[in-house]
């Protein structure tokens, strides 16, 4: 889904069934490129957006991958939407989300709960 100003939104769909699940994630961060370096120290990862949405985004992708590869019976349609500008209040994706959500029975937003984070540059 092309969005010139803030970056494209991505949407994919799979499954069959009478009900549809919307999975919603964003892949943007607050930080400008280069502000914070990505690094791994021991068993911890540090970098822009590492705690925000990215963990849930990856978990949802791997769950879908497992369903498909293990041929797990799944009687729902899944619409997975990745947006590019949630951190700036979703100026274009809000309307996309609302339109898609109208046709969905359930929604799963992969945003984690608010936790204390520390930003060091």
- How distant, in Å, are the alpha carbons of 104, 111, 120 from that of 51? 27, 9, 14
Q: Averaged over 7-35, what is the pLDDT? A: 86
Residue 105 has pLDDT above 90, yes or no: yes
Q: Give Cα separations from 56 to 16, 29, 51, 94, 97 (angstroms).
A: 23, 14, 9, 19, 18
How large is the average pLDDT for residues 69-95? Answer: 87
* Average pLDDT over all residues of the chain: 85
52 noted as active-site residue: no
37 catalytic, yes or no?
no
Q: Which of 13, 37, 43, 86 is catalytic?
A: 86
Give the active site residue among 28, 41, 43, 85: 28
Contact 107, 29 (CB under 8 A): no
- Return the CATH fold of 10-109: Aminopeptidase (3.40.630)
């Amino acid at each position: 889904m092309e969005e010139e100003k803030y970056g494209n939104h991505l949407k994919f769909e799979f499954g069959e069934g009478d009900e549809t699940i919307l999975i919603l994630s964003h892949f943007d961060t607050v930080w400008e490129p280069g502000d914070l370096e990505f690094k791994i120290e021991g068993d911890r990862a540090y970098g822009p957006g590492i705690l925000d949405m990215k963990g849930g985004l990856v978990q949802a992708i791997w769950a879908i991958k497992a369903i498909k590869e293990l041929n797990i019976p799944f009687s729902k349609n899944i619409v997975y939407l990745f947006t590019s500008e949630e951190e700036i209040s979703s100026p274009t994706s809000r309307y996309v989300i609302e339109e898609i959500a109208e046709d969905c029975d359930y929604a799963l937003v992969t945003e984690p709960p608010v936790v204390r984070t520390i930003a060091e540059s």
